[in-house]
Structure 1
Amino acid sequence: MGSRLTRPLVAAAFVACVGAGISAPERAEAREIVRLNFQAEPGTIVIRNSERRLYLVKENGVAIRYRVAVGRSSEQWEGRTVVNGRHVRPAWSPPAVVRRANPNLPDVIPGGAPNNPMGEGALTLAGGEYAIHGTTAGMRRSVGTAASFGCFRMLNEDVVDLMNRVGVGTTVIVKR
């Protein structure tokens, strides 16, 4: 299930990830180093909805490429934003669009709960209720598909890796 983060929970219920980083809960399977076929500044995150891939641009024309679940076709978006928060095992409050699709969800799912769609971590994005986040064990198979409500879902081990490489203020470019 995709998700949007609500502003009150970002401030009130998330545990900030400060300096020390977080440890990966399991071995990474989805990331790889690739040559870029587009231009972007090193340190930028580029998400390509059509590829269902997230690129962390490095020096010398290469990037770390991760598989991601992107928004369903009706929920995909494009644009430029920045990471405005880094959160370890954040609590999650379903936004209205998710609640309409799943009316029996609780008001808040605690961080670390097995049914919390944020998984091990979340990078919140400025200008909306979207995030790049981990996933629940039951939703791992959705990574690499168009399945969310607009967020970008990664394997937990990959979101942990990405969170350890980027900080608040990182530019994020979402393309078709």
Structure 2
Amino acid sequence: MQKVVWGMVAIYLAIGLALWSNKAFAAPELVRFADQRFAPGTIVVKNRERSLYLVHRGGTALRYQVAVGKRGKAWTGQTYITGMHVRPAWSPPAEVKRDLPHLPVVIAGGAPNNPMGAAAMTLAGGEYAIHGTNRPGLIGRAVSYGCIRMRNADIADLFARVGVNTRVVAVN
């Protein structure tokens, strides 16, 4: 039990350090969310709005501003979280490596050029993730190869609220 507690302390310290180094912050906003198709606990990404919602009971949700896939790269559909990682290393997928051949094979977690930021939640069925970013100025835009990017403070907040197997739905 003590090992688990210290493990959680280490996770929160790592996220806290990443947040301290990323000053851009906008707290999630509690908003009305009347769409009955989504059960409480579901993450809903609305690509056109550049928003991610964590659905709550009572017709409300937490809304976070995000960056989404650029034209032709945004995904829609249903999946779930398969993994939760603090300061993950990143290997560019084949499509990214083809477009940006100068990228290394692996970028270490926590490196300033690592696009995953403070934390990442990997999604089933592909190479996508919901993750932090080292470029918070791009939040609110369509810029990725399909991943959902969040400010590091926001991914840390969401990370603490959800877990593996959380349902994720992306719509236009």
TM-score between the two structures when normalised by the length of structure 2: 0.87
Compute the displacement of 1:115 (Å). 0.4
Deviations 1:118-168 (Å, cap 9, x if unpaired)?
A: 0000000000000000001xx211111000000000000000100000000
CA distance in 2, matches of 1:54, 1:125: 15
Shift of 1:30: 4.5
Query: Which is helix-richer, 1 or 2?
Result: 2
Match of 1:35 in 2: 32
SS at structure 2 position matched to 1:47: strand
Aligned residues: 157
Aligned-pair RMSD on alpha carbons? 1.4
Aligned to 2:75: 77
Higher Cα radius of gyration:
2
The separation in 2 between residues aligned to 1:110 and 1:37, in whole angstroms, is 41
Tell whether 2:123 aligns with 1:152.
Answer: no
Equivalent residue, structure 2, for 1:106 = 104
Aligned residues with identical type, % of pairs: 54
> Does the aligned pair in 1 maintain the 2:136–2:151 contact within 8 Å?
yes
The answer to whether the 8 Å contact 2:84/2:164 transfers is: yes
Q: Which has the higher contact order (CA 8 A, sep 6+)?
A: 1
Measure the CA separation in 2 of the matches of 1:111 and 1:148: 19
Deviation per residue, 1:72-98 (Å, 9 max, x gap): 111011100000000000000001111
Which runs of no fewer than 5 residues in structure 2 stay unpaired?
1-6
Quick one: distance in 1 between partners of 2:61 and 2:71? 26
**Is 2:165 aligned against 1:169?**
yes
Picking from 119, 122, 131, the partner of 1:133 is 131
Structure 1 unpaired stretches of 5+: 1-17
C-alpha separation between the residues in 2 aligned to 1:101 and 1:157?
Answer: 29
